[in-house]
Copies of this chain bind each other. A is one copy, B any other.
Amino acid sequence: MLLQQYLSTRQYTEHLCNPLEIEDYVPQAIEYTSPPKWHLAHTTWFFERLILKTYADNYCEFNADFDFLFNSYYQTLGERAIRAQRGIFTRPTVQQVYQYRKYVDEHMHHLLSRPISDKVQQLVTLGINHEQQHQELLITDLKYTLSLNPLHPEYSPEFNLVTDKNQDDGWVEIKQGLYEIGHQQQSFCYDNELGRHKVWLPDFQIANALVTNAEYIAFIEDGGYTQFHYWLDEGWQWLNSEQISAPLYWKKIDGQWHYYTLAGIKLLDPDAILSHVSFYEANAFACWKGMRLPTEFEWEAASQYLDWGKRWEWTSSAYLPYPGFKISEGAIGEYNGKFMVNQMVLRGASVATAKSHQRYTYRNFFPPHLQWQFSGIRLVKDHD
């Protein structure tokens, strides 16, 4: 079954690349994104470097230079290419990267066709989850790159990803009390979800529905981007220096809001759920509404009552270790812990997240100014 999971995950990554031209695989439009080619190779390197090279008998690495090219940020594993230069490596070619994938898949197939240790099983599961994260990033990054092209290229007509609507409205009321937060470890989770612990929560009400485009337009039209008192000071500096006046991909054409989608440029759907806002924008919107964002603990406590999984939802929680959090030995210890400063937690999952990758204890995190995720807003109020 692990083999099945492995193979289907690997195939799905390649399936996502079906609509791409060779040229689309190459560029890195901004430092925090990566080229499709790099995502394809890096996820493969992860299996080769952490599993095959240690646990497969007589494994012979595909190309010794790939270790330098496709290591992302694992200092434990040696020198890496500079992050900002992923878009200038024209070789290996796309075809060679697919050969690399094939080669590693064959060896993984062989490895997983026999009894494996718990340790290997855990690493394979981690590798699968890692690849799922990169599937999402591949789509998210691709949208960013294509959006800059004045030709507004379409990735795929079925892949709009931003027209889904809320199923529900109203408010869920949560009573004050001690809640258990964190993963219970019966199944896979990342290390940052571990350390199940008690958190005292106050009374609060949390919205069933996420904020829609129409609601956000009301904020814009009420001068939301021109009034400093809705904004955190850093957010205000950000919008002024970057000249931000709308969510990412929004563009006013002949007086009408449009947005770039993976199906090309479209008229904005007012009823669809808002996407591509930064934490600064999410926080300012909530402030304008006289409400606030949930903490990640409130979100987790309420999650069973909510319809979630369409947008990454900004919380008001900074990304910090749970009580008892320990960084693991070796490379996998670099997966999460070293990023626990100056980032905000997002909960839920986005339309680009694999279903089997979603869980209510999942802690996603990004710096507060980034808009390129499929990120939205859920409001909380303290009392009626």
A231 within 8 A of B: yes
Q: Contacts A22-B22, A87-B27 given: A341-B198 contact, CB under 8 Å?
A: no
Nearest neighbor of A154 in chain B, beta-carbon distance? B91
- Which residues of chain B come closer than 8 Å to A146, judged between CB atoms? 90
A92 within 8 A of B: yes
Interface residues in A272-307 by Cβ distance below 8 A to B read 279-280, 283, 287
CA distance A363 to B316 in the complex (A): 18
CA distance A149 to B87 in the complex (A): 11
Q: Contacts A200-B199, A228-B75, A339-B232 given: A93-B23 contact, CB under 8 Å?
A: yes
A89 within 8 A of B: yes
A235 within 8 A of B: yes
Binds B, one of A48-56, A112-120, A318-326: A318-326
A1 within 8 A of B: no
Contact, CB under 8 Å: A65 / B150? yes
Smallest Cβ distance from A293 to chain B, in angstroms? 10
Most buried by B among A73, A150, A339, A344: A150
CA distance A151 to B89 in the complex (A): 9
Contact, CB under 8 Å: B75 / A150? no
Interface residues in A119-147 by Cβ distance below 8 A to B read 145-146
CA distance A169 to B93 in the complex (A): 45
Partner of A200, one of B91, B93, B200, B318: B200
A340 within 8 A of B: yes
Partner of A23, one of B94, B235, B320, B344: B94
Smallest Cβ distance from A58 to chain B, in angstroms? 25
Most buried by B among A81, A234, A235, A317: A234
This chain: copies in complex: 4
Contact, CB under 8 Å: B149 / A91? yes
Partner of A341, one of B65, B93, B232: B232
A25 within 8 A of B: yes
Most buried by B among A29, A229, A316: A229
Partner of A339, one of B73, B229, B233, B321: B233
- Which residues of chain B come closer than 8 Å to A199, judged between CB atoms? 200
Counting contact residues on chain A (CB < 8 A from B), the size range is: 35 or more
A178 within 8 A of B: yes
Partner of A88, one of B85, B149, B287: B149
Nearest neighbor of A153 in chain B, beta-carbon distance? B91
A156 within 8 A of B: no
A148 within 8 A of B: yes
Partner of A85, one of B75, B89, B148: B148
- Which residues of chain B come closer than 8 Å to A320, judged between CB atoms? 316-318
A222 within 8 A of B: no
A residues contacting B by CB (< 8 A) are: 21-27, 29, 37, 65, 68-69, 73, 75-76, 81, 85, 87-94, 145-146, 148-151, 153, 178, 197-200, 202, 228-229, 231-236, 279-280, 283, 287, 316-318, 320-321, 323-324, 327, 333-334, 338-342, 344, 368, 382
